[in-house]
Structure 1
Amino acid sequence: MSDVLNSERTVRNLSELKEFWKELLPALKDRTILLMSGDVGAGKTTSVQLIAELLGMRDVQSPSFAIHLRYENAEGQSLDHLDLYRLKDDDDLESSGFWDLFSQQKSLIIIEWANRLNYEFLPLNWQKIEIQFQKLSETTRKIKTQKVPGDFS
């Protein structure tokens, strides 16, 4: 089996995208940050919705205007979803409670538009995975996953 955390895959539809996440989720550690980047419409928010669905969470929306939304499933597992598209400066990030998220013992943090964030300030003891989306056609996406160097989780 290939390393799903360091891979490149083309998905042709929503069903294949869901299968991709079914394969990737078991490889994540208790404290993981998914750092998503890609153009508008490339599949970031849809992916977050699929991940939440696979974790038993419902009614996931894009937090574009709130920057941060939190979801929990019936077992108490949390997913923190951040969208940095409208981030103006570090003060916006600070006021969102972003840094407080890393005090959790177990959480999945998903950040859309992560390219607006300096990774060197993220905690070393969290698993960090870059996920780059490229829109190839109306339904087809290329997804590249890569562990962030310097990750000591």
Structure 2
Amino acid sequence: MSTILNSERTVRNLSELKEFWNEFLPHLNNRSILLMSGEVGAGKTTSVQMIAEILGMRDVQSPSFAIHLRYENAQGKSLDHVDLYRLKDDDDLESSGFWDLFSSKEGLVVIEWANRLDFDYLPLNWQRVEVTFTKISAEERKISCRLI
């Protein structure tokens, strides 16, 4: 088991945040879910944009209004970006096609505001990593990661 998937790190700027994700991503399985939580402005969307950039994907936006956006790189690797901030109830989640994301043979699903979701219902055959962002200052963030 990789220690970076069960770790805590403080990053002081965007460069250190990108360095963290560059180290982190190779430790994920072919079927992984990143469950991101933290207050507004803690770094969730910025992290998703960096992950997508590292994976060779462009024009990543926050899917706050759409709930779900999908990106693919030139090699066919996919990133499903889900934002549950505006989620009202389970019907919203169901109508978004959320559960269909896990029928793929492989992929990376990144969920912002994952604390609005009951992790017990997520598929057990996918690697699940809880990533919590804590805003320390305007630039500094603590990132806590835990395999669940």
Specify the TM-score bucket, using the shorter chain as the normaliser. Answer: over 0.9
Alignment correspondent of 1:49:
49
Aligned partners of 1:63 and 1:12: how far apart in 2?
A: 26
- For residues 57-91 of structure 1, give each alpha carbon's deviation from its aligned partner in whole angstroms, at most 9, with x where no partner exists: 00000000000000000000000000000000000
Alignment correspondent of 2:83:
83
Amino acid of the residue matched to residue 78 of structure 1? S
Please give the residue correspondences for 1:112-151 in structure 2 after superposition, counting only pairs within 5 Å: 112-148=112-148
| Structure 1: unaligned runs, 5 residues or longer | 149-153
Alignment correspondent of 2:94:
94
Runs of 4+ in 1 over 3 A off after TM superposition: none
- For residues 93-123 of structure 1, give each alpha carbon's deviation from its aligned partner in whole angstroms, at most 9, with x where no partner exists: 0000001000101100000000000010000
Amino acid of the residue matched to residue 94 of structure 2? E
Aligned residue for 1:46, secondary structure, equals helix
Aligned partners of 1:83 and 1:70: how far apart in 2?
A: 12
Aligned partners of 2:96 and 2:8: how far apart in 1?
A: 32
Query: Scaled by the length of structure 2, what TM-score is found?
Result: 0.98
| Structure 2: unaligned runs, 5 residues or longer | none
What percentage of aligned pairs have identical amino acids? 74
Amino acid of the residue matched to residue 143 of structure 1? I
Amino acid of the residue matched to residue 53 of structure 2? E
Deviation for aligned residue 1:125 = 0.2
Aligned partners of 1:121 and 1:10: how far apart in 2?
A: 30
How many residue pairs end up in the alignment?
147
CA-atom RMSD in angstroms: 0.6
Aligned partners of 2:111 and 2:126: how far apart in 1?
A: 14
